[in-house]
Amino acid sequence: MEHIEIDQQEYHLLLKYLKIETGLNFEYYRQRFIEKRIKARMIRVNCKTLQQYNTYLNKNIGEIKKFVDGFTINYTFFFRDYDVFETFQDIFIDGLNVKKGVVSSNIRPSANKLNKFRTKHNYVKNQMKAEKASSKPEASYIDLFIFLNRLLLYKKLMGSRTRENEIKIWSCPCATGEEPYSIAMILDNLEEQVPNFPKYQIIASDIAIEAINKAKKGLYTDDSMKEISNYYENKYFKKKKLNFGYMNEISEEIKNKVDFVHEDVTLGHKRRQKYDVIFCRYLLIYFNRTNRDKFLKILESRLEDNGILILGKTETLFKEFGSLKQIDSRNHIYIKSHSKLI
């Protein structure tokens, strides 16, 4: 692959043609990343030069779909970065003031942790000041994170179970559905056990229609199940025999909790609503710096005040970006806040 030459004129012609045919905004991505995907397809269809590949692409309509499917990043599995989902669950358990008895498998927070969060309002205020005065660039204590976001949850939980009071969550990009379904399993598990659990809506979007179609089917290999607990696997999955072997089929109940949208999010989001939580993990690393900032503004505009943005473990905005302030450096979580305290 490293020996393939990429002619820049042919490269820009290719991107222009692909944008016309697909409507996708390929120029948002790092050139090295795009070139790597181009070379992979060139090798697959036995083209020695980019000019040959451009000719091949124009003559073979099916190649456009194959290029787009190969271009997207679909490496994912259920509960990827387990501690991120544990933190997400902590927000709801604390916001709902659940004292005990909630079955949450291996991501259940300890009773000591929950009691600590409920009695530390004054401590958190002092901790915020201490963090600001210290040499650390951001507030990284998980109790500070819970405290700030319980304000958001309490506002939602005080109302009735109506559309206006529901908690809105967006998973972008969602790939083949493992991330939004992980979110849905956590919330469904809590909803079964907690009286008056708030209504919630999970939107999941991706650039690849093939990934969206796979997500809607809800069939997964054992590789996607490698970090899921036995509790969630037994509760929400069953084995399904196919012609080529067995797959893990997620329950219809969980599938019905996620609304999938096919879109190129760099062009904007198709839904008009704002969100309380946005998961956007392992996408920014593929953007160049200028377009990364443009896309972050899209995400920022889609967050409610005091809403949270969760990035991937290899992505960071450092201390802040616009109104996005880092509140958990370990899990790369940000809150949309205009406060000067953070």
Q: What is the pLDDT of residues 20-34, one digit of tens each?
A: 888 888 878 888 888
- pLDDT at residue 112 above 50? no
| Angle between helices 61-71 and 8-22 in degrees, nearest 10 | 100
Q: How many CB atoms lie within 10 A of CB 37?
A: 17
Return the pLDDT at 127.
Answer: 40
The candidate with the shortest Cα–Cα distance to 91, out of 152, 159, 155, 166, is 152
- pLDDT at residue 138 above 80? no
Return the pLDDT at 140.
Answer: 41
Band (pLDDT 50/70/90 cuts) for residue 8 is very high
Predicted confidence (pLDDT) per residue in 260-282, tens digit: 999 988 888 999 899 999 999 98
| Residue 323, Cβ density class (10 Å: 0-12 exposed, 13-18 middle, ≥19 buried) | middle
- CB 315, CB 332: distance < 8 Å: yes
Return the pLDDT at 156.
Answer: 63
pTM, to two decimals: 0.76
* Angstrom distance (rounded) from CA 184 to CA 207: 21
- pLDDT at residue 109 above 70? no
Return the pLDDT at 288.
Answer: 81
Task: Say which DSSP state 7 is in.
Answer: -
Return the pLDDT at 100.
Answer: 52
Query: Span 145-156, mean pLDDT?
Result: 58
Query: Span 104-126, mean pLDDT?
Result: 41
Name the 3-class secondary structure at 220. Answer: strand
Return the pLDDT at 108.
Answer: 43
- pLDDT at residue 132 above 60? no
Return the pLDDT at 275.
Answer: 94
Which sequence spans correspond to the domains of the chain? 8-71, 82-336
The rounded percent of the chain whose pLDDT value lies above 90 is 38
Return the pLDDT at 226.
Answer: 87
Return the pLDDT at 113.
Answer: 33
Return the pLDDT at 33.
Answer: 85
The candidate with the shortest Cα–Cα distance to 312, out of 335, 330, 291, is 330
The kind and range of the H/E element at 181 are: helix 178-193
* Angstrom distance (rounded) from CA 98 to CA 330: 25
- pLDDT at residue 321 above 90? no
Token pair belonging to 328: 């958990």
Predicted confidence (pLDDT) per residue in 299-315, tens digit: 999 999 888 899 998 88
Name the 3-class secondary structure at 335. Answer: strand
**What is 82-336's CATH topology?**
Rossmann fold (3.40.50)
Query: Span 111-132, mean pLDDT?
Result: 39
Query: Span 133-151, mean pLDDT?
Result: 47
Predicted confidence (pLDDT) per residue in 184-229, tens digit: 999 999 888 888 788 899 999 998 888 899 999 999 999 899 889 8
Band (pLDDT 50/70/90 cuts) for residue 124 is very low
More confident residue, 36 or 121: 36
Return the pLDDT at 256.
Answer: 97
Name the 3-class secondary structure at 256. Answer: coil
Band (pLDDT 50/70/90 cuts) for residue 89 is confident
- CB 223, CB 178: distance < 8 Å: no
Q: How many CB atoms lie within 10 A of CB 118?
A: 12
